[in-house]
Amino acid sequence: MKKRLTLHDKALLAMREAVRGVIERHRKEKRPLAVWDRKAQKVKWISPQTALRQFNKQIRLEKQRAQKRG
């Protein structure tokens, strides 16, 4: 049986899609992205490839956590 998505789940999916789109646009235009570095408490510039790698890693971790929860 298919699980219905909550409003929260739909919002997360929309946000992920938007972030992936921004990263992709920057990759095509060969422009770095500005991200907040929590440890250093400042903005740092990263390449779109690095951003995509970090984004995909975060998605994988979230899926693993969700599977453990049930």
Which residues, other chains included, contact 63 with Cβ-Cβ below 8 Å and sequence gap of 6+?
Answer: none
Q: Model confidence over 19-47: pLDDT tens digits? A: 999 999 999 999 999 999 999 999 999 99
Question: Residue 69 has what pLDDT?
Answer: 80
- The Cα–Cα gap between 6 and 24 comes to 27
pLDDT at 1: 61
pLDDT grade for 70, boundaries at 50, 70 and 90: low
Residues β-bridged to residue 36:
43
